[in-house]
Structure 1
């Protein structure tokens, strides 16, 4: 899909992270000027290696918890893609205060800075965790439950703040509820690594991956290129599509057992021994939602979102990237 977006100045917060760095690259490819704001708490310098010397790219090392850093980064900017956050449900359960400081206070700083510097549109990473204990499937944007973790609380508060800023100050906002994003540059290391890169790394090292529960929890796994498309479309969408929330997913669901089956199959093309690795099953994880499956009808209608990558298609690309880069 060709999205007409060029000659704009775009701030990507958390631009050294997995999703943020991919967004920076996509924007630069379309001849935009990109500012990246990151404190490198979870972002990595190597994610920016391909673009750090691009004359249209500026890196600001700063923290969204500092309003002055936010004001500096938003100066002269047309659009904000706000990706900076402390992810991970387990991390938020272990340390809810820091998650709140970054995800709520930092988010509010970014809204204030965007308002004060007259940013045209503020697009932010929301989360499927907002659906909480709602059991209805597929997940539709206006039917949510109660949050099941401090992280989910922070991401819901973001949506509330964005709504208030659009109504009170006229700041155009769009929230994108990401569903289990995966793909190139997603870090397999660390205590809070996402499940796909973690499984890939373990299988490549011929280690048995550990699944929380019996492997029948299901997710709407979403490849990074679908997420990039949704963000870029949010910047060019007309005014009828703003000041609301959208699911960003493929619109399908697969169990963790399905996922591991695909990973073993695709990785076995590089090393046949991977096919025979046994999976270890452990207890369910606190705060986890059993099943996640998004309706993407609203995004398709209003943003013209057209996700191109199914789980299998995305995994094939991701596995190839990890095999070359890990």
Structure 2
């Protein structure tokens, strides 16, 4: 990313947003970074050490335009949305996620800014075949959260064709890492299992732990998100590790790094819809932007546990 004067991060006090803000601050100390967040699912503690401006704002309302009217935004990272996949209020989800995104695109048009926005691997739905998921495969969103992200992808493409504004989606898979603790029960399964084991409990997972996910470490996610601003045009990129790993493997690695020997406690899955397998095809982002993940599950869990156990400091 070339130097930009003014960067806006929506949802910048959340998990991915705060990690992104602190990395950008390190990379571009002369740039002005403005964070907007309604703090509905964020925590100010995530921004310890942030030197920019933070404003409370619901980007799905006209409040957005008043908050930034004195700033010429060059680059927008749009991460603000309802990310709780258990929310069933369809009107609320669509208003916050889709209407909020449309406001961001209008702001980008007004200021001629580039937009990088958070999409989601959930748009692919419950894939039966165990193959890496390509960006152009058929989409089958199974809940209102996934549907809202699917519609955002459609809107970005249409808006770009009409206005010339570049809007790049980053389709996150299962992200884990520092600054997610505030999410509580919606934090990553890796963090949830770590907490159970720290409390001396057997880690609980659905039978029989062989469900596989593409777990991607937050540092790789931040790097890919920043690189996405260099995309040649409006498009969507998968952001994962490119590997599908089981929950049994996660528990084994947590045991190894904690020095414990907990056996999993298996129980029946209570959900009608549950993704058994996710794996990102990372070919497109590698070929177009040169992004290659630096963290496999072994390296990511080791660093994360070391941070949680205060063996090392959080660094970028």
TM-score, normalised to structure 2, is: 0.91
Superposed counterparts of 1:268-307, under 5 Å: 268=259, 274-307=260-293
Superposed counterparts of 1:1-326, under 5 Å: 5-30=2-27, 31=29, 32-51=31-50, 54=51, 57-70=52-65, 72-73=67-68, 75-89=71-85, 91-92=86-87, 94-119=88-113, 121-136=114-129, 137-187=131-181, 190-237=184-231, 241-268=232-259, 274-324=260-310
RMSD: 1.9
CA distance in structure 1 between the aligned counterparts of 2:66 and 2:271, rounded to whole angstroms: 39
CA distance in structure 2 between the aligned counterparts of 1:279 and 1:188, rounded to whole angstroms: 25
- Cα offset for 1:76? 0.8
CA distance in structure 2 between the aligned counterparts of 1:212 and 1:112, rounded to whole angstroms: 43
- Cα offset for 1:209? 2.5
Stretches of structure 1 lacking an aligned partner (at least 5 in a row): 269-273
Structure 1 SS opposite 2:7? strand
Q: Residues 61, 135 of structure 1: CA spacing in aligned structure 2 closer, same or farther, 3 A cutoff?
A: same
CA distance in structure 1 between the aligned counterparts of 2:7 and 2:207, rounded to whole angstroms: 41
Structure 2 SS opposite 1:105? helix
Task: Say whether the 8 Å CA contact 1:188–1:197 is kept in structure 2.
Answer: no
Task: Say whether the 8 Å CA contact 1:13–1:38 is kept in structure 2.
Answer: yes
Q: Residues 320, 290 of structure 1: CA spacing in aligned structure 2 closer, same or farther, 3 A cutoff?
A: same
Task: Say whether the 8 Å CA contact 1:213–1:284 is kept in structure 2.
Answer: no
CA distance in structure 1 between the aligned counterparts of 2:91 and 2:255, rounded to whole angstroms: 38
Task: Say whether the 8 Å CA contact 2:185–2:192 is kept in structure 1.
Answer: no
User: Which whole-Å deviations, capped at 9, do the CAs of 1:83-105 have from their partners, x for residues lacking one?
Assistant: 1111132x23x333322221112
CA distance in structure 2 between the aligned counterparts of 1:173 and 1:263, rounded to whole angstroms: 38
- Cα offset for 1:278? 4.0
The total of aligned residue pairs comes to: 307
Equivalent residue number for residue 271 of structure 1: none
Stretches of structure 2 lacking an aligned partner (at least 5 in a row): none
Structure 1 SS opposite 2:186? coil
